[in-house]
């Protein structure tokens, strides 16, 4: 494969200034052609989208050229796929349709379902203060987890665990009650723990055992150590904003779907057919595709 010729490179460099104003370019320049590949056009709009996807809000001549090289290589691969009639392959057609459905659904949610109002500073501050275990009194825990198949830990075991303050002592208690378990040694920050379990950990101290249930199984987690690691409001603010937006969007989507489902005509086949659906075992994993093959296509594929 040959690289773009010098004329195309000069054209690309001349467009860097225009492309760098990713959100402020004129509407008319979107269809300007920066390169052609076997007759297929690559436009400023496509190049701008590629740069934004790579997080290049202020691209340089080099990053712009790399993005264009990636688009050229992508088009060459698309041409090869079409030449091999992969667009008619049932698996590919199904994947393309699934991607189309997901994109359309996502676009509709973002434009018509999710609230447009920003999360206010008052809301963010209130969340910060109400969740001190995540922020002002945040901790990093050293844990020894004992995972069991028990749906509920018997009271006699709980009583004996009150005296167990080391991993060996916990293991002895479980073994004495003939409870089969698997152990894990973990380090977890407060935000890495399930939110509903955080109050238990925040109230516990080193040597305490926190008992939790999930999916019909019980886990007994011994806190073997902890360090205070507070997070100030300025550092936490972007995290809080994103979390509150996610919660708000999830509620808005749930409300919207209940409304449209109530008025939609939905006919489902009998439950026996649904229950009989099986998923084939996954194929052996292939060697990972190097991301640079498209990002820096000319350098890799030449």
- Exposure on the CB side of residue 199, measured as CA atoms within 13 A: 3
Q: What is the pLDDT of residues 18-56, one digit of tens each?
A: 444 444 444 456 679 999 999 999 999 999 999 999 988
Interhelix angle 61-83/6-20, rounded to 10 degrees, is 120
Please state, in angstroms and rounded to a whole number, the distance separating the CA atoms of residues 30 and 79: 23
CA dihedral 5, 7, 11, 16 (to 10 degrees): 50
Model confidence band, residue 276 (pLDDT cutoffs 50, 70, 90) = confident
Please state, in angstroms and rounded to a whole number, the distance separating the CA atoms of residues 167 and 146: 9
Phi, psi at 212, each rounded to 5° = -130, 155
Task: Please report the pLDDT score of residue 100 as a whole number.
Answer: 97
Please state, in angstroms and rounded to a whole number, the distance separating the CA atoms of residues 48 and 30: 9
Q: What is the pLDDT of residues 78-113, one digit of tens each?
A: 999 999 999 999 999 999 999 999 999 999 999 999
Taking all residues of the chain, what is their mean pLDDT, rounded to a whole number?
86
What is the mean predicted confidence (pLDDT) over 177-204?
Answer: 94
Q: What is the pLDDT of residues 135-163, one digit of tens each?
A: 999 999 999 999 999 999 999 999 999 99
What SS3 string covers 131-156? CCCCCCCCEEEEEEEEEECCCCCCHH
Please give the model's pTM, rounded to 2 decimal places: 0.68
Q: Percent of the chain beyond pLDDT 90?
A: 74
Interhelix angle 44-53/6-20, rounded to 10 degrees, is 60
CB 244 within 8 A of CB 127: yes
For residue 298, pLDDT beyond 50 = no
For residue 281, pLDDT beyond 80 = no
Task: Please report the pLDDT score of residue 40 as a whole number.
Answer: 94
Task: Please report the pLDDT score of residue 24 as a whole number.
Answer: 46
């Amino acid at each position: 494969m040959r690289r773009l010729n010098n004329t195309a490179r000069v054209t690309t460099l001349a467009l860097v200034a225009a492309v760098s104003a990713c959100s402020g370019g004129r509407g008319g320049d979107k269809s300007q052609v920066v390169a052609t590949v076997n007759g297929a056009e690559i436009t400023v709009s496509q190049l701008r989208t590629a740069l934004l996807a790579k997080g290049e809000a202020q691209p340089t001549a080099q990053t712009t050229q790399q993005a264009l090289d990636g688009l050229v290589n992508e088009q060459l691969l698309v041409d090869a796929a079409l030449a091999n009639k992969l667009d008619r392959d049932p698996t590919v057609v199904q994947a393309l349709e699934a991607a189309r459905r997901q994109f359309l659904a996502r676009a509709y949610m973002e434009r018509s379902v999710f609230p447009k109002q920003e999360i206010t500073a008052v809301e963010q501050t209130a969340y910060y203060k109400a969740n001190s275990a995540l922020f002002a009194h945040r901790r990093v825990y050293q844990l020894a987890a004992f995972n069991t198949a028990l749906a509920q830990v018997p009271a006699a075991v709980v009583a004996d665990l009150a005296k167990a303050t080391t991993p060996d002592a916990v293991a002895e208690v479980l073994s004495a009650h003939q409870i089969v378990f698997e152990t894990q040694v973990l380090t977890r920050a407060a935000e890495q723990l399930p939110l509903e379990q955080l109050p238990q950990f925040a109230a516990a101290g080193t040597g305490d055992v926190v008992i939790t249930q999930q999916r019909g199984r019980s886990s007994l987690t011994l806190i073997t150590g902890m360090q205070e690691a507070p997070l100030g409001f300025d550092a936490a603010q972007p995290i809080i904003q994103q979390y509150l937006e996610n919660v708000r969007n999830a509620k808005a989507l749930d409300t919207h779907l209940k409304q449209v489902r109530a008025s939609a005509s939905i006919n489902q086949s009998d439950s026996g057919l649904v229950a009989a659906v099986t998923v084939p075992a996954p194929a052996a994993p292939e060697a990972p595709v190097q991301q640079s093959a498209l990002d820096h296509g000319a350098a890799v594929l030449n």
